[in-house]
A and B are shown apart, each in its own frame.
Chain A
Amino acid sequence: MSENQLQTKRLAIVYAITGLVVFFVLVLLGFTMRLNQAGALDLPPDFFYALMTLHGLGMVGVLYVAAYIGVWYLISQYTKPSLGLAKFNYVLILLGVVGLMLSTLIGRFGAGWYVLYPLPFIKTWPEWAVGTAVISVMLLGVAWLLGQLDVLRAIAKRYGFAEGLGWGYLSGNPKEKDLPPMVVITSVSMIAGALTTVVGAIMLMLYLAKWLNPALEFDALLMKNMVFLFGHTLVNITLYFGVAAVYAMLPLYSGRAWKMNKIIALSWNASLFLILLAYFHHLYFDFGQPVWVQYVGQFASYLSTVPATVVTIFGVFAQIYRADMKWSFVPLAFVLGIMGWIVGGFAAVVDSTIRLNQVLHNTQWVPGHFHTYFLLGVVLMILAVLYYLMGPKEDKLARFGLWSLLLGGFGFVAMFFIGGIQSVPRRMANYDSLPIKSVAQVGQMTAGIASLFILLIAVGAIAYYIAVFKGVKQAWSGN
C-alpha cells in the first residue's frame, strides 16, 4: 500500500468513526422523539421540534457524508480525489455540525430540516439561532459541493468527462474498455448533487440576506421548490452512492464480473434527469404550482423505477443467482440493503401517486418510506462499506447485529406505515391536542411499539460497532 493509499484509508476511517458515533446519537434523538409521541415523556413542544430539526438535518447530513466517503474511498482505486480537500471538508463539516447543535439544542431553532420559508423567521426562537443554523448549513453545503466537484474533477482527469459519464458506451465506441460502472453512477450523482447544491446555496444566501435584513420578502413557492430540489436530490444521491458501492463490491464476493455496457450507461444517464424532476411530488398539494408540473412529478417518480429495477436489480440477480459465494457480513448487508432500498422505493412510488398522496401526504406514511430506504437501505450499504474498510475477518457478531437491526428496523418502519394508513399526522410533538381520539390513540400506540423496536436497532448497532471497531487498529496500519 502506497503512502497516499494509506493516508486515504486513514482519513476514511476517521470519517467512518465520526459518522458512526453521530449516527448513534441521532438514533437516540429519534428514540426520544418516539417516546414523547407515545406519551412516555413530556418534552416541551419547542424542544421536541428542535430535536426533530437536528435529527432530520443530522441524519440526512451524516448519511450523505458517510455514503460519500465510501464512494470517495472506493473510487480512489481508479482516480485521485484530493486528500487535502477531504481533510479541509472534515473540519468544515464538524463546524457545521457544532453550529447546528448550538442552534437547535441551545437556541431551540426548530424549523425542521426543510426550513420552509418563512417559518425560520418567525419569532419563537432567538435570531442568533436562525443565523447560526443558516450559516452552519451553508458550511455543510460548501463542503458537499467542493467534495462533489473534486470527485468529478478526479474522474474527468482519469477518464475524461464524457467517458466518465459512459457516453462512449452510448455511442457504441467507448475509449475505456473496462470502465467500472461505479464511475458512471458516481459521475451522474455528483453532477446532480453539484447542480442542486448550488440551488440550495442560493436559497441559503437569500435566507442569510433575510436574516440580516428582515424587511426582505421572498416568494414562498419558489423557496419551497428550491429546498426540495436540493433536499430531495441530496437524499437520492446518497442512495445512489450506496448503490455505486454495491456495483463496485458485490463482484468481489460473487466472483462474477459486473461490466459496463450500453444499458447501464443509458439507465444511469436517464436517472440524472429523473432525479431532477421527481422532486415535484413533494409539492402536489401546493396548488400554486402549474398543474402540468404535478403530472411531471408523478410521471418522473414512476419512470425512476425503470432504471432502478430493470438495470440494477437484474444486475444484482446476475451477480448472486446460484453464485459460489459465502454470505459473510459485507455481501449480506449489501443484498439486504438493496432489499430495503426497493421496499422503501416501492412505498415511495405508491406515495407519489397523486390520488393516494391526497390521504398520505404529511401522514406517518412519509417517514415510513424514507426510514425504510435510509435505515434499511443505504445504512446497511454504508455499514457494508465501512466493514470492508476497517472490519476484522471474524464477522459473527456483526452478522448478529445486522439481523437485529433488520428485525428492529422493519418493525420500527411498520409502525410508521400503520400510522400513515390510520391518518396519523407526522411531525407532531405529541398527540394529546388532536381532537380525534382514535387518531391520537393510534399515534401514541404505534410510537410506543416503535420505541421498543428502536431498542432492537440499538442492540444491532452496538453489536456491529463492537465487531467493526475490533478491526480498526489493523486497518489503521494499512493491513
Chain B
Amino acid sequence: MAWQAGLITLIGTMTIFGITFWLIRSTRSPERAEAVTPGIYAMRGKYFIFLSLVILITLFATLRGLPYFPPEGAAPAYEVTVKGKLWFWEVTEIKALSGTTEIAPTAVPAGKLVQFSISSEDVNHGLAIYNSQGQLLIQTQAMPGYPSKLYYTFNEPGEYFLVCLEYCGMGHQSMTSKFTVL
C-alpha cells in the first residue's frame, strides 16, 4: 500500500515539475495576455470537471474497507489484549473467542481474524504492527480513556512486532514488543 502512495506521488511530482518548467520556458516567446488567457480559462473549466470526477471516484473507491469496523461478514476468532505503558507494550492476554479453540497462550493462529483490544494506561501511544520484513501492516492510537479495537488476519506464520508510532517521551524509540503467529 505504501508503495502505491509513493508511486502516485512520484508521478504527480514529476508532472508538476514538468508543467512548471514548461510554463517558465513559455516566457521565451511572449504574447499579449488577451491572446492567451481565454484559452487558459477554457482549460480551467475542463480541469474543474476532471478534478471533480477524480475526487468523486477516489472517494468512492477509498472510503470503504476502513479500519473502524471488522471486515464485512467476518467475526473475530481470537482476541489479543494489549496495554501501552511508558515505555513498553504489554500483551496481557491472547484468547480464543466463541466457537474456536485456543492453540497457545502466547501465539496467534494464521488465517484467522484477530481482534486487538488496545488501551493506554498513561499517555498517548500508537500501536503499529510490523511483519518481520519491516512492512507496517496496520495501526491505531492507544489513547488514555479511549480503548480501541483493531482487526487483522495474519496469513503468514512468523514473528510480528509491535512498535509505538506516537511520540510518548524519552523512551519512545524503544517501546516495542513482539508476538508469534503460528
Q: Which B1-34 residues have C-beta < 8 A from chain A?
A: 1-6, 8-9, 12-13, 16-17, 20, 23-24, 26-27, 29-31, 33
Bound together, the chains give a CA A335 to CA B26 distance in angstroms of 13
The answer to whether A439 touches B134 (Cβ under 8 A) is yes
Which residues from B are CB-within-8-Å of A110?
169-170
B141 close to chain A: CB less than 8 A: yes
- The reply to whether B170 and A324 form a contact with Cβ atoms under 8 Å apart is no
A220 near B44: Cβ-Cβ < 8 Å: no
Is B90 interfacial (CB 8 A cutoff)?
A: no
Min C-beta distance of B63 to chain A, whole Å? 6
What is the interface residue range for chain A against chain B? 35 or more
Interface residues of B in 105-131 (CB under 8 A from A): 122-124, 126, 128, 130
Task: Please state if B169 and A360 are interface contacts (CB–CB under 8 Å).
Answer: no
- The answer, yes or no, to whether B36 is at the interface (CB within 8 Å) is yes
Tell whether A310 pairs with B62 under 8 Å between CB atoms, given A320-B24, A362-B126: no
Quick one: given A119-B124, A346-B12, A359-B136, are A49 and B145 in contact (CB under 8 Å)?
Answer: no
Query: Which of A111, A117, A285, A286 has the largest count of B CB atoms less than 10 A from its CB?
Result: A285
Whether a CB of chain B sits under 8 angstroms from the CB of A459 is no
B27 with A322: CB separation less than 8 A? yes
Other-chain residue from B48, B62, B172 in contact with A428 (beta carbon distance below 8 A): B172
Give how many A-B residue pairs fall within 8 Å (CB-CB). 242
Would A429 and B173 count as touching, CB distance under 8 A? yes
Whether B144 is near chain A, meaning CB under 8 Å from some CB there, is yes
Interface residue stretch chosen among B71-79, B94-102, B160-168: B160-168
> Which residues from chain A contact B30 at a C-beta distance below 8 Å?
322-325
Q: Which of A219, A291, A302, A332 contacts B145 (CB 8 A)?
A: A219
B-chain residues with CB within 8 Å of residue A318 when the two chains form the complex: 33, 36-37, 40-41
Chain A: CB-nearest residue to B8: A350
Q: Is A347 an interface residue (CB 8 A)?
A: yes
Q: Is A428 a contact of B143 with CB atoms below 8 Å? A: no
Q: Give Cα A339–Cα B24 distance, bound, in whole angstroms.
A: 12
| Contact call B31/A335, Cβ cutoff below 8 A | no
Q: With the chains together, A332 CA to B141 CA distance in Å?
A: 42
Q: Among the listed B43, B63, B163, which residue makes an inter-chain contact with A425, where contact means beta carbons less than 8 Å apart?
A: B163
Q: B81 interface residue, CB < 8 Å from A?
A: no
The reply to whether A298 and B44 contact each other, CB–CB distance below 8 Å, is no
Option from B141, B146, B163 in Cβ contact (under 8 Å) with A434: B163
**A363-385 CB contact bits vs B (8 Å, 1 = yes)?**
10100000000000000000000
| B residues in contact with A321, CB < 8 Å | 23, 26, 36, 40
Contact B141 A436 (CB under 8 A): no
A302 with B9: CB separation less than 8 A: no
Interface residues on B, range: 35 or more
A124 within 8 A of B: yes
Q: Give the distance in Å from the alpha carbon of A23 to the alpha carbon of B108 in the complex.
A: 50
Q: Within the assembled complex, what's the spacing in Å between the Cα atoms of A323 and B27? A: 5
The listed residue (B27, B65, B66, B141) touching A286 by CB distance below 8 A is B141
B6 to chain A, nearest CB (A): 4
Q: Are B139 and A320 interface neighbours, CB within 8 A?
A: no
Q: Are A436 and B123 in contact (CB under 8 A)?
A: no
Residue B155 at the A interface, CB < 8 A? no
Q: Which partner residue on chain A sits nearest B118 by CB separation?
A: A287
Q: Which of A269-325 contact B (CB under 8 A)?
A: 285-288, 291, 294-295, 298-299, 302-303, 305-306, 309-310, 314, 316-318, 320-325
Q: Which residue of B lies closest to A431 (CB)?
A: B173
Given A291-B68, A317-B23, A318-B41: A285 and B140 within 8 A (CB)? yes
Assembly CA distance A82 to B72 (angstroms): 60
> Nearest-CB distance from A322 to chain B (Å)?
4
| Distance, CA A442 to CA B130, complexed state (A) | 15
Residues of A within 8 A of B148 (CB): 286-288
A35 smallest CB distance to B (angstroms): 16
Most buried by A among B9, B43, B86: B9
Fill in one digit per residue for A428-441: 1 if any B CB lies within 8 Å of its CB, else 0: 11111111111100
Is the C-beta of A399 less than 8 angstroms from some C-beta in chain B? no
Contact A288 B173 (CB under 8 A): no
Q: Mark A420-461, 1 if CB is under 8 A from B, else 0.
A: 111101011111111111110010000000000000000000
Q: Is B180 an interface residue (CB 8 A)?
A: no
- Please tell me if the beta carbons of A322 and B29 are within 8 angstroms of each other in the complex: yes
**Given the complex of chains A and B, what is the CA–CA distance between A251 and B67 in angstroms?**
48
Please tell me if the beta carbons of A288 and B146 are within 8 angstroms of each other in the complex.
yes
Are A421 and B20 in contact, CB atoms less than 8 angstroms apart?
no
Are A224 and B168 touching (Cβ within 8 A)?
no
Q: Flag A329-341 by CB within 8 Å of B: 1 or 0 each.
A: 0001001101100
Name the residue on B nearest A429 (C-beta).
B173
| A-side contacts of B36, CB under 8 Å | 318, 321-322
Complex Cα spacing A76 to B2, Å: 46
Q: Which residues of A contact B165 (CB under 8 A)?
A: 361-363, 425
Confirm or deny: B55 has a beta carbon within 8 angstroms of a beta carbon on chain A.
Answer: yes
The answer, yes or no, to whether A464 is at the interface (CB within 8 Å) is no
Residues of A near B174 (CB, < 8 A) are 433
Q: Which of A256, A365, A431 contacts B5 (CB 8 A)?
A: A365
Taken together as a complex, chains A and B put the C-alpha atoms of A193 and B48 apart, in Å, by: 28
A residues near B (Cβ < 8 Å) are 45-46, 49, 110-112, 116-119, 122, 124, 219-221, 224, 256, 285-288, 291, 294-295, 298-299, 302-303, 305-306, 309-310, 314, 316-318, 320-325, 327, 332, 335-336, 338-339, 342-343, 346-347, 350-351, 353-356, 358-363, 365, 417-418, 420-423, 425, 427-439, 442
With A427-B167, A436-B130 given, can you name 4 additional A-B contacts, CB distance below 8 Å? A116-B166, A291-B68, A320-B27, A343-B17
Q: List, sorted by A's number, 6 A–B pairs whose CB atoms are closer than 8 Å.
A: A49-B172, A119-B167, A318-B33, A320-B24, A324-B27, A435-B176
What 5 A-B pairs are tightest by C-beta distance, nearest first? A288-B146, A324-B30, A287-B148, A433-B174, A423-B136
